[in-house]
Amino acid sequence: MMQVKIEDIYEEYNRYIYYLCLKLTKNQIDAEDLMQEVWMKVVRYESYMKEVDHVKAWLTTICMNTFRDRYRKQVRRSKYVANQPEQLDISLLDLIAADVLSVEEQLEKEDVGEIIRSKVAELDGIYQKTVMYFYVHQFSLIEIAEVMKVSIGTVKSRLFRAKQRLKELIMNDEIAKDSLVLA
C-alpha cells in the first residue's frame, strides 16, 4: 500500500467526520470540538495508517470511541454537579437500543452475560485480554495494538481466534448451548 498522507485523508474525509460528529452531538459547537479531538487522535495514530485497510471505517471507529469517551466523562462529572449540563440530553438512540426489556428478558440477558463471562474466563490469557479490551473496555483496534505492543493485524487475528474459541467452548457446553443462539 502506498504511503497515505494525513492531509489527503483530511481533505477527503473532513466533511464526513464533521457530519458524523454533528449527528452524534446534535450541536455545532460540540461537533467542532469532537471533530478536533478526532483529528488529533488521527495525527497521534498516524504511524498505524499504513496498516489500515479501510480508512473511512477506521476514522468512524475513532470518532465513535472519542464521542463515547467524552459522553462517559460528562456523565461521571455530572454526578458531582447538582444541575446537569444540557448537553447530557444527547439523543443516543443511534447508539443504544431503545426498547425496554421486561423482567424476564432482563434476567435472561443477565444469565447470557454470566455464561459469556464464564466462557471468556476460560480463554487463554492473551485472547481473554484482547476480548476484554475490545468488548468490555471498548478500545479501538489501534488502542489495543498500542497497549499490547503488537500490530493491528495481530489484534484482528487474536479477536477472530478468540471468537472461534468462545464458540467452541459454548458449543461443547450443553447448558450454554441451549441458552445461547449462535449465528
CATH of the domain at 12: 1.10.1740
Q: Comparing C-alpha atoms, which of 110, 108, 125, 121 is closest to residue 170? A: 121
**pTM of the predicted structure, to 2 decimals:** 0.43
> Taking residues 82-97, what's their average pLDDT?
42
Residues 46 and 115 in one domain: no
Residues 160 and 107 in one domain: yes
Higher pLDDT, 160 or 74: 160
Residue 95 lies in a domain: no
| Span 8-53, pLDDT tens digits | 888 999 999 999 999 888 889 999 999 999 999 888 888 877 777 7
Do 176 and 115 form a contact (C-beta atoms < 8 A)? yes
> Taking residues 92-118, what's their average pLDDT?
55
Q: Which of 54, 89, 124 is the last residue of a domain?
A: 89
- Give the domain CATH number at 129: 1.10.10.10
Residues 81 and 123 in one domain: no
Counting runs of H as helices and runs of E as strands, what totals does the chain give? 8, 0
**b/e code 171-181 from CB counts within 10 Å (16+ = b):** eebeebeeebe
Residues 76 and 15 in one domain: yes
